[in-house]
Chain A
Amino acid sequence: DTAVSQTPKYLVTQMGNDKSIKCEQNLGHDTMYWYKQDSKKFLKIMFSYNNKELIINETVPNRFSPKSPDKAHLNLHINSLELGDSAVYFCASSSPGPSGANVLTFGAGSRLTVL
């Protein structure tokens, strides 16, 4: 059973289109995240939700809209796609560990290519 699953794995689309990426976790975690990985492998957080509430929004353009229908799901919708949105998007989830440190479990990634 996949712990954090994302769909689709690959997405190729034209500039200006709207697309969504879905994420589900079956770990019972309270917190979910979206990270963006650029072509140089650099990872940057975009959003985080805790129990369906937005808690982190890292100055992401408002073309990106996350939605969390329940604490096991965090979807990412992107409007008016631009070339610079091409990247790999990773979903992750976490809960505090025994030592208090949150260990994130990542999905396999969704590679978005905007033409």
Chain B
Amino acid sequence: GNSVTQMEGPVTLSEEAFLTINCTYTATGYPSLFWYVQYPGEGLQLLLKATKADDKGSNKGFEATYRKETTSFHLEKGSVQVSDSAVYFCALSAGTSYGKLTFGQGTILTVHP
């Protein structure tokens, strides 16, 4: 079956530090890959996505590249802000699953001033 594994958290950084959250996946076929973000007390919001190998998704300074050879989709940001503090979820959607998302376990990010 499909699965997503994220690096364990929580992650604590100082403002302007570099962020990497690792994500690897197992899937049949060619899944679409997503990063969702959940701010405190809110629902999930799409952060970025990639639908085929070597695609790079980007939004709000965050980037992730779909690497088929390493089955990875690591999230990066060059300079984090306090407002980036949230829970980040890596997810995949396989082609015939009616959009069903399989999520990783989530990584809690806290950014200090």
Mask of A2-46 contacts with B, CB within 8 angstroms, 1/0:
001000000000000000000000000001010000001111110
- A109 and B99 within 8 A (CB): no
Interface residues of A, dominant DSSP: strand
- B106 and A43 within 8 A (CB): yes
Q: Is B77 an interface residue (CB 8 A)?
A: no
Pick the contact of B106: A41, A45, A109 (CB < 8 A). Answer: A41
Residue of B nearest to A99 (CB): B51
With both chains docked as a complex, state the minimum distance between the C-beta of A50 and any C-beta of chain B, in angstroms. 6
- B106 and A102 within 8 A (CB): no
Counting chain A residues whose Cβ lies within 8 A of the other chain, the interface size class is 20 to 34
- A104 and B99 within 8 A (CB): yes
- B43 and A101 within 8 A (CB): no
* Alpha-carbon distance between A109 and B98 when the two chains are bound, in angstroms: 21
* Alpha-carbon distance between A94 and B38 when the two chains are bound, in angstroms: 18
* Alpha-carbon distance between A41 and B108 when the two chains are bound, in angstroms: 9
- In the A-B complex, the 10 residue pairs with the smallest Cβ-Cβ separation, listed nearest first, are A102-B99, A101-B32, A106-B43, A41-B106, A99-B51, A43-B103, A106-B44, A94-B99, A108-B43, A101-B51
